[in-house]
Amino acid sequence: MACPAWADGLAFVVNSGEASISLLDVQQHRELRRIPMLREPHHMALTPDGKSLLIGDTAGNTLFFLDPHTGAVQRQVAVSDPYQLQFSPDGRWLTIAGLARNQVDIYDAASLKLLHRIPLAAMPSHMNYAPDSGVVYVSLQESNRLAAIDTKTGTVLWNAEVGKTPAGVLWSAGRILVGIMGADDIAVVDPASGHVERRVQTGKGAHNLFLSPDGRTLYVCNRVDGTISLLDPRTLVVQRSFRISGGPDDLDFAPDGRIWATRRWAHSVAIIDPATGQFQTVEVGRSPHGIWLNTHEAAPAAPRLTMNAP
Partner 1 sequence: MIDPFDAVAGWLQEHALIPVLFRLGWMQWEDVAYGWALFATYGVAQVIATFAICLPLERWRPVERWPDRGAVTVDVLYTLISRVGLLPLVTFVGFYTVQVALNGWLTEHGYVPPTLERFVPALLGHPVLTFLIYAAILDAADYWRHRISHRIGWWWALHSLHHAQRQMTFWSDDRNHLLDDLIGALWFGAIALLIGVPPLQFPLMVLLLRFLESLSHANARLTFGRIGERLLISPRFHRAHHGILAAGQRSCNYGAVLPWWDMLFGTADFSRSYAQTGDPSGEEALATGSYLQQQWAGLRRLGTTIGAPRIGAMRPRARTH
Which span (54-62, 89-97, 188-196, 252-260) binds partner 1, by CB under 8 A?
54-62
Question: Applying CB under 8 A, does 90 fall inside the site for partner 1?
Answer: no
Question: Applying CB under 8 A, does 212 fall inside the site for partner 1?
Answer: no
Give the integer Cα–Cα distance in Å for 199 and 266: 30
In this structure, the chain runs to a length of 310
Question: Applying CB under 8 A, does 41 fall inside the site for partner 1?
Answer: no
Q: Which of 263, 194, 206, 252 is nearest to 231 (CA)?
A: 206
Question: Applying CB under 8 A, does 31 fall inside the site for partner 1?
Answer: no
Candidate list 131, 182, 191, 213; residue touching partner 1; CB under 8 A: 182
Question: Applying CB under 8 A, does 308 fall inside the site for partner 1?
Answer: no
Question: Applying CB under 8 A, does 280 fall inside the site for partner 1?
Answer: no
Question: Applying CB under 8 A, does 306 fall inside the site for partner 1?
Answer: no
How many Cα atoms are found within 13 Å in the side-chain-facing hemisphere of 275? 2
The residue among 62 and 202 lying less far from partner 1, judged by its C-beta, is: 62
65 to 84: interface string for partner 1, x by CB under 8 A: -------------xxxx---
Candidate list 41, 68, 89, 226; residue touching partner 1; CB under 8 A: 226
Give the integer Cα–Cα distance in Å for 25 and 29: 5
Angle at Cα 284 formed by Cα 264 and Cα 251, nearest 5°?
A: 50
Question: Applying CB under 8 A, does 168 fall inside the site for partner 1?
Answer: no
Which span (5-13, 186-194, 212-220, 241-249) binds partner 1, by CB under 8 A?
241-249
Angle at Cα 211 formed by Cα 194 and Cα 178, nearest 5°?
A: 25
Candidate list 3, 114, 160, 224; residue touching partner 1; CB under 8 A: 224
Angle at Cα 102 formed by Cα 99 and Cα 106, nearest 5°?
A: 85
66 with 83: CB under 8 angstroms?
no
Question: Applying CB under 8 A, does 39 fall inside the site for partner 1?
Answer: yes
Give the integer Cα–Cα distance in Å for 87 and 227: 29
Binding to partner 1 (CB under 8 A): which residues in 96-115?
100-103
How many Cα atoms are found within 13 Å in the side-chain-facing hemisphere of 290? 30
How many Cα atoms are found within 13 Å in the side-chain-facing hemisphere of 300? 17
Q: Give the binding site for partner 1 (CB under 8 A).
A: 1, 16-19, 36, 38-39, 59-62, 78-81, 100-103, 123, 141-142, 164-165, 181-182, 204-205, 223-224, 226, 245-247, 264-268, 283, 286-287
